């Protein structure tokens, strides 16, 4: 099973991904294992691309897009596809929906072109996607409390709200796959809802 977690910066994805991995490792002992990974940078050597794409310096939205795609090609080839082949549950923080929400809604690149590139790259589709939805001001407030921000985080609430509307569109369009979770609830409430959704899907 290939599961992705999505949402704007500061929505609580990383905390929730770790809680989910922990719970699944306890409850799903009979499966082939649970692999946690993330984008960008979730493959050996991937930190270099992560650094390049999140630090200052890029000005062209297409350079940003192609770096995320290059990162994903290696990530799929070296980490995701082998783990899925071995029957493991793969939990990935950010994947194709982030590219659509950030690079299309956020940067204005055409959705259909990006999706055409996904098909050309042969990226596997997630079986289930959890979208942790949080309004941009609340997410921004959380990030500001954490200290230094990266290039995309510094874009501010207007940008994040555009990205959020991208996730909202995708959740409506792909409603069989994407499940919206209210990110304004407390950590344990969100975690329980995510676990219920995932277990229901795993044991259907
Ligand atoms: P992270 O800090 O949550 O790992 O995310 C890194 C940043 O990269 C975040 O601002 C979202 C952005 N991003 C894109 O813009 N497009 C993508 O395809 C991916 C995977 C991430």
The string of pLDDT tens digits covering residues 129-176 is: 999 999 999 998 888 888 777 777 778 899 999 999 999 999 999 999
Q: Is 153 helix (H, G, I), strand (E, B) or coil?
A: helix
Assigned token pair, 1: 């099973």
**What does the alpha-carbon distance between residue 20 and residue 191 come to, in Å, rounded to a whole number?**
7
Assigned token pair, 188: 């344990």
Ligand 1 proximity of 152 Cβ (cutoff 6 Å): yes
**What does the alpha-carbon distance between residue 61 and residue 21 come to, in Å, rounded to a whole number?**
33
Taking the centre of ligand 1 as the mean of its atom positions, its distance from the CA of residue 72, in whole angstroms, is 12
Ligand 1 atom 10: residue of nearest CA: 152
Ligand 1 proximity of 4 Cβ (cutoff 6 Å): no
**What does the alpha-carbon distance between residue 80 and residue 54 come to, in Å, rounded to a whole number?**
22
Substitution site in 58, 94, 134 for ligand 1 pocket (most atoms within 8 Å of beta carbon): 94
Ligand 1 proximity of 129 Cβ (cutoff 6 Å): no
Ligand 1 proximity of 68 Cβ (cutoff 6 Å): yes
Beta bridge partners of 182: 133
14-18 — which CB contacts under 8 Å span 24+ positions? Answer: 14/38, 14/93, 15/187, 16/130, 16/132, 16/187, 16/190, 16/191, 16/194, 17/91, 17/93
Phi, psi of 103 (to 5 degrees): -80, -25
Beta bridge partners of 128: 3
pLDDT of residue 57: 83
Residues of the chain with confidence (pLDDT) below 70: none
pLDDT of residue 33: 93
Cβ neighbours of 157 (radius 10 Å)? 16
DSSP letter (8 states) at residue 94: S
pLDDT of residue 29: 75
Taking the centre of ligand 1 as the mean of its atom positions, its distance from the CA of residue 23, in whole angstroms, is 25
**What does the alpha-carbon distance between residue 84 and residue 201 come to, in Å, rounded to a whole number?**
16
- Supply the CATH classification number for the domain 2-202: 3.40.50.300
The number of residues in the chain equals 204
pTM: 0.96
Taking the centre of ligand 1 as the mean of its atom positions, its distance from the CA of residue 147, in whole angstroms, is 18
Token pair 């209210």 is found at 182
pLDDT of residue 63: 96
Phi, psi of 56 (to 5 degrees): -65, 160
Which helix (H) or strand (E) segment holds residue 128: the answer is strand 128-133
Exposed, middle or buried by CB within 10 Å (0-12, 13-18, 19+), for 204? exposed
């Amino acid at each position: 099973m290939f599961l992705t977690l999505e949402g704007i910066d500061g929505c609580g994805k990383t905390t929730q991904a770790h809680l989910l991995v922990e719970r699944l490792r306890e409850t799903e002992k009979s499966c082939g294992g649970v692999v946690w990974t993330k984008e960008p940078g979730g493959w050996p050597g991937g930190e270099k691309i992560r650094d390049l794409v999140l630090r200052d310096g890029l000005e062209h939205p297409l350079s940003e897009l192609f770096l995320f795609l290059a990162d994903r090609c290696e990530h799929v080839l070296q980490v995701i596809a082998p783990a899925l082949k071995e029957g493991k549950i793969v939990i990935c923080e950010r994947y194709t929906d982030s590219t659509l929400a950030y690079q299309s809604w956020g940067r204005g690149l055409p959705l259909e072109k990006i999706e055409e590139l996904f098909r050309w790259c042969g990226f596997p589709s997630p079986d289930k996607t959890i979208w942790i939805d949080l309004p941009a001001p609340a997410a921004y407030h959380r990030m500001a409390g954490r200290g230094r921000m990266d290039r995309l985080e510094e874009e501010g609430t207007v940008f994040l709200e555009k990205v959020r509307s991208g996730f909202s569109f995708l959740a409506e369009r792909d409603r069989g796959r994407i499940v919206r979770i209210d990110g304004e609830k407390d950590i344990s409430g969100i975690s329980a809802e995510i676990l219920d959704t995932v277990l229901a899907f795993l044991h259907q």
